[in-house]
Amino acid sequence: MKAKIAILPGDGVGPEIVAEAVKVLDAVARRFGHDFEMMELPVGGAAYDTCGDCLPETTLAACQTADAILLGAVGGPKWDALPPEKRPERRALLGLRAKLGLFANLRPAKVWDALTEASPLKNGIVARGIDLLIVRELTGGAYFGEKRRAADGKSACDTTPYSEREILRVARVAFAAARTRGEGRAPARPCGEGRAPARPCREGRAPARPPKVTSVDKANVLETSRLWRETVTALHASEYSDVELEHMYVDNAAMQLVRDPSRFDVILTENMFGDILSDEASQITGSIGMLPSASLGDARGGLYEPIHGSAPDIAGKGIANPIATILSAAMMLRHSLGLAAEADAVDRAVSDTLAAGVRTQDIALGNDHAAVSTSEMGNAISGALLRT
């Protein structure tokens, strides 16, 4: 197939990790006979330095006509002093989401078999399995609500608006994702005691779990959360009663994520809660350098990016983990280009590479594994893809 992909490397480690994902996409194109037209475009602080705008019109226009967008990360100390509306995070990230109508953010978090030791949780908890999907509302709530600062600068206010329409459309994404995950789900892993095995049992004795959505809110104190809960409950009853639904307060969800993450399948939540919970979910899987994301709207394209930021502390050192970006490219193949077999091949290449002991510094545990560079990890994964 032919596809136009907008490539937005951005700032900090962005160009380093995106280069490796492009390498993997090139390998996919070679192996499966596709023609990917990849257009590299400026965004973030890098774009501000050259064009005076973190989201230049030409970049936005190219993204609007692309079949999909792959983004590295934006921001860094160099641009922190810019006025808020010009900063990379606000102008480029929130701007792209708003202008492209990307209202649903999908963040899968799982522990890879070869990386169970990287989780900071006790092995007995990890052995029960961590494989969840956070569906976060992306264009509403406090991040987009009206903001005010008093004239004397001593008090401030952020509003958190949500409409029934905004809740319904993201809730539909979450219920549909739960159904899809339910179809392909491996049996839940049996509960283990003590240290997790290097490769936890795939052929669990427990039966496959039914699809489940946990809707996270703060309905005991927030009016928007009460609307959220009512709307999700009504949608579930009318269209998705085959999916299990539970409601949970966000403070409890934060606790349950470290106490027993295996209880979650799909977590549906609003913008700010999702931002915070997905970082927590990333950490329990081992490294933020492993977690991809997809941002989807009603239109055909989608935006794919690692969940981490520009990591200025390690930028330019060639040690960033490119796997989150490579897995984001796999999500792009699956969700925007309809190439499920190709996406599976990338996931398998990552799994095989990790199983072979190849590790970047963030996931090289102690002295067991010598760390490879960002580009060596990209080479290993594209090599594995071409070999299988």
The secondary element (H helix, E strand) that includes residue 258 is helix 250-259
Of 79 and 175, which CB lies nearer to ligand NAD in the complex structure? Answer: 79
Task: Name which of 280, 284, 328 is nearest 73 in CA terms.
Answer: 328
In the bound state, the residue with its beta carbon closest to ligand NAD is 309
By the 10 Å C-beta count (0-12 exposed, 13-18 middle, 19+ buried), 298 is classed as: exposed
Would you list the DSSP string of 123-188? HHHHTT--EEEEEEE-SSGGGTS-EEE-TTSS-EEE-----HHHHHHHHHHHHHHHHHHHHHPPPP
What would the two tokens of residue 17 be?
């990790």
Q: Which of 11, 67, 131, 143 is catalytic?
A: 143
Least Å distance, CB 49 to ligand NAD, is 15
Active-site residue flag, 275 = yes
Task: Name which of 184, 88, 172, 79 is nearest 131 in CA terms.
Answer: 184
Of 112 and 228, which CB lies nearer to ligand NAD in the complex structure? Answer: 112
Least Å distance, CB 214 to ligand NAD, is 24
Of 204 and 312, which CB lies nearer to ligand NAD in the complex structure? Answer: 312
Q: Which of 11, 67, 275, 352 is catalytic?
A: 275
Q: Which of 4, 78, 113, 279 is catalytic?
A: 279
Q: Residue 304 forms beta bridges with which residues? A: 70, 294
The span from the CA of 134 to the CA of 101, in Å, is 19
Q: Residue 36 forms beta bridges with which residues? A: 3
Give, in degrees to the nearest 5, the angle at Cα 99 between 280 and 42.
80
Of 160 and 310, which CB lies nearer to ligand NAD in the complex structure? Answer: 310
Sorted by sequence, the CB contacts under 8 Å of residue 132 that are 6+ apart come out as 108, 109, 110, 261, 264, 265, 266, 267, 281
Neighbours of 15 (CB within 10 A): 18
Of 166 and 362, which CB lies nearer to ligand NAD in the complex structure? Answer: 362
Of 76 and 95, which CB lies nearer to ligand NAD in the complex structure? Answer: 76
Of 141 and 211, which CB lies nearer to ligand NAD in the complex structure? Answer: 141
Neighbours of 189 (CB within 10 A): 21
Least Å distance, CB 128 to ligand NAD, is 26
Least Å distance, CB 268 to ligand NAD, is 21
Least Å distance, CB 199 to ligand NAD, is 24
Q: How many residues belong to the chain?
A: 388
Active-site residue flag, 251 = yes
**What are the residues binding ligand NAD (CB under 6 A)?**
13, 17, 73-76, 89, 93, 288-289, 305, 308-314, 320-321, 324, 362
The span from the CA of 38 to the CA of 201, in Å, is 40
Least Å distance, CB 287 to ligand NAD, is 6
Q: Which of 48, 217, 218, 362 is catalytic?
A: 218
Least Å distance, CB 328 to ligand NAD, is 11
Q: Which of 26, 80, 242, 251 is catalytic?
A: 251
The span from the CA of 226 to the CA of 228, in Å, is 5
Would you list the DSSP string of 187-248? PPPPP--SSPPSS--SS-SSPPPPPEEEEEE-TTT-HHHHHHHHHHHHHHHHH-TTSEEEEE
Active-site residue flag, 218 = yes
The residues annotated with a catalytic role in the active site are: 143, 218, 251, 275, 279
